[in-house]
Amino acid sequence: MSETKDLKVAAIETFFAAYGAGDVDAMSAVLAEGIEWTIPGRHPLSGTKRGVAEVRAFFDQLGKSGFKAEPIFFGVNDEYVVDIHRGWTTEGTGKVDTTWALVWHFDAAGKVDRVVNLSGDQHQMDAFVWENYALAPIPDRLA
Helix/strand/coil (H/E/C) assignment for every residue in 103-134 = EEEECCCCCEEEEEEEECCHHHHHHHHHHHCC
Q: Does pLDDT of 32 surpass 90?
A: yes
Mean pLDDT (the chain) is 93
Q: Does pLDDT of 85 surpass 70?
A: yes
Domains of the chain by start residue, with CATH: 3-132 (3.10.450.50)
Residue 1: pLDDT band with limits 50, 70, 90: low
Total-model pTM: 0.91
